[in-house]
Structure 1
Amino acid sequence: MTTEVQISSNNRNQFPFFLLLIGVCLPLQIFALLAVAISQNGEGLPFDVPLLSAIHDTAKPQLDIFASFFTQFGYLKGIIPTVLFIALVLAFRQQWHRFVYFLITVFGSFFIVFTTKLVFHRARPHLWSIFLPLPSDYSFPSGHSGLSMMLFVALVNLSWGTRWCKWVMIVGGLFVVGIGWTRLYLGVHYPSDVLAGWMLAIAWGIGVNLSFHFPLVKLITRKQDYP
């Protein structure tokens, strides 16, 4: 019996370390590889133009309408109202720990994504004429993709262990992929922009979650108890 308890305890202690490697270190490493490649070749990575062209070859008037409509939910018409609604619900329920986690995740993601754009100054793709005005800010990373992934990661963390988690993962996952697809279909981002936005959001969201569940105070206290 004691052995089973010890094994279970060891598994719980190992899970945060595993999550740190897979959810934080790996996405940051992928982002770093993309960033280095773009710094050396601002025109794009080897897979950027072929993949973007392949998606453009599927263009149809009906898809044009859908993509231009759905992409708006990746920021002003979707992300912002959802963030405000969730924050109000958490505050109304006085779930302050989750409320603070959610706000740090949201505002941190906004700051990281848009600051990174200013650092790399990557121009938007100009491979063909698009029927929408080209956004005036920089391309790397994709803000819509990063913010949609940020919301997805935050909601998965908040719903973890509840009956809603499965639906959050299914609906949220489709939403993230859909927003990423619209940015490519519309020709306003390279695939590496979308991937970079996803990686930053995953690393930040999971990193904040780990810090809230395993704060430095507990680690210091544990060291004092077991010198």
Structure 2
Amino acid sequence: MRTERKLSRLDRVFARLDREPERPTHIDVPRMSRHRVVLFSATLAFYTAIVWAVVVSSWLVRLDWQVMFFRPYQQWPQIHAFLDYYVVLGQRGPTAVMVAAWLGWRSWRQHTLRPLLTLGAALLLLNITVGAAKYGMGRLGPHYATVIGSNEMWHGGDIFPSGHTANAVVTWGILAYLASTPRARRWLSAISAVTSLGVGLTTVYLGTHWLSDVLLGWAAGLLILLALPWFEPLIARAESAILDLRDRRRSSRALPVPTPAPVGAGSLVLTPRNSTEPEAEVLEPVGVTRSTRAPVYLAPGPYTSRGERTPVTPVGSRRPQHPDRVSRGTTPVRPLAGG
């Protein structure tokens, strides 16, 4: 009895990939809706409130010092080794390589550069905004604090906001932003939120960031994700320009098609014609090349049967001529008998 082989989960995944179209017929590009604008405004207000609370050394700074003196890495040392590896999910280099590899495969599969260009635009915005805030406010970290209870601002530090946290929000959140279905977008949004939350709390556990640094890092990363629809037209123009440049380079590498030289005005050449007229000449312009294609012989007239055709002796026949031979179709003349 013949039985069919049961497909494994990996076989079903590859079978689904084989049915995937090369380029999606419709790419759902997020737009800057009213709901997104409200979220962006609320996140920007939260960002401003965190900065102001730290600048004026409010209750948030006192909470930072209390968490620092609590020393979570000494309270729970058994998870220290695991969190040393988990915090790598917020480092810019490893996470950018992993996400770029996945988005590069999607770009190759769907024949579009939008996933990679969107990731590049998000990381560029992250470096500009977070980097400027870090060096502009110059806050020192918990391990380098000088005065207890101080906000440690403008002392040449570079930890406010938390780069690990903001990078985790942007790098893993871009997967949800580029998801092709609403269900995948919801799941990826939840996963990226949990991952970035864990990365931020891990930096507080390790003592490398204040709690307020993590709060500002979450807000900074979320602002970039919410602002990406404003840059979608620029991303589309960049993709079109790159594809046009690729097409021009491909066309320039192709073999050029030979074109006839331009006809010179008033330049004529005398060329003899093969005819019976002596010294017959025709005028041809310079630069016009003769066609190397074999001549086409056309029928001289209407079709005639074989019996109706007139026999023609070929010119220049090599058969020797016999004066005594009588041509076919004529009656030979018999000599008259003398009498």
**TM-score calculated relative to the size of structure 2:** 0.50
Is the aligned partner of 1:38 residue 2:54?
A: yes
Give the superposition deviation at 1:112.
1.5
User: Does 1 or 2 have the higher relative contact order (CA < 8 Å, sep 6+)?
Assistant: 1
Shift of the 39–188 alpha-carbon distance from structure 1 to 2, 3 Å rule, reads: same
**Letter paired with 2:127:** F
| Counterpart position of 2:91 | 75
Aligned-residue identity in percent: 18
1:52-91, aligned counterparts within 5 Å? 52-54=68-70, 56=72, 59-76=75-92, 78-91=94-107
1:162-191: per-residue Cα shift (whole Å, max 9, x none)?
Answer: 543243123222211110111000011111
Aligned length: 195
Shift of the 77–65 alpha-carbon distance from structure 1 to 2, 3 Å rule, reads: farther
Question: How many Å separate the matches in 2 of 1:27 and 1:214?
Answer: 24
Unaligned runs of 5+ in 2: 1-30, 146-155, 236-339
| Counterpart position of 1:126 | 143
SS of the counterpart of 1:45?
helix
Deviates more, 1:54-63 or 1:100-109: 54-63
Deviates more, 1:202-211 or 1:72-81: 72-81
1:86-165, aligned counterparts within 5 Å? 86-92=102-108, 93-126=110-143, 138-159=158-179, 161-165=181-185
Give the superposition deviation at 1:142.
0.3
Give the superposition deviation at 1:65.
0.9
1:185-213: per-residue Cα shift (whole Å, max 9, x none)?
Answer: 00111111011111111111111125427
Deviates more, 1:93-102 or 1:206-215: 206-215
Higher helix share: 1
**Alignment root-mean-square deviation, CA:** 3.2
**TM-score calculated relative to the size of structure 1:** 0.73
| Counterpart position of 2:22 | none
**Letter paired with 2:63:** F
1:92-146: per-residue Cα shift (whole Å, max 9, x none)?
Answer: 1332334322221122112221221000000001399xxxxxxx95210000000
Is the aligned partner of 1:178 residue 2:198?
A: yes
The structure having more radius of gyration, on CA atoms, is 2
Question: How many Å separate the matches in 2 of 1:97 and 1:199?
Answer: 25
| Counterpart position of 1:167 | 187
**Contact between 2:68 and 2:207, CA under 8 Å: does it hold in 1?**
yes
Shift of the 52–16 alpha-carbon distance from structure 1 to 2, 3 Å rule, reads: farther
Question: How many Å separate the matches in 2 of 1:165 and 1:37?
Answer: 34
SS of the counterpart of 2:160?
coil
SS of the counterpart of 1:138?
coil
Question: How many Å separate the matches in 2 of 1:156 and 1:68?
Answer: 26
Question: How many Å separate the matches in 2 of 1:161 and 1:112?
Answer: 30
| Counterpart position of 1:49 | 65
Give the superposition deviation at 1:46.
3.5
| Counterpart position of 2:328 | none
Unaligned runs of 5+ in 1: 1-13, 129-135, 216-227
Shift of the 191–116 alpha-carbon distance from structure 1 to 2, 3 Å rule, reads: same
**Contact between 2:71 and 2:207, CA under 8 Å: does it hold in 1?**
no
1:196-215, aligned counterparts within 5 Å? 196-212=216-232
| Counterpart position of 2:213 | 193
Question: How many Å separate the matches in 2 of 1:80 and 1:137?
Answer: 24
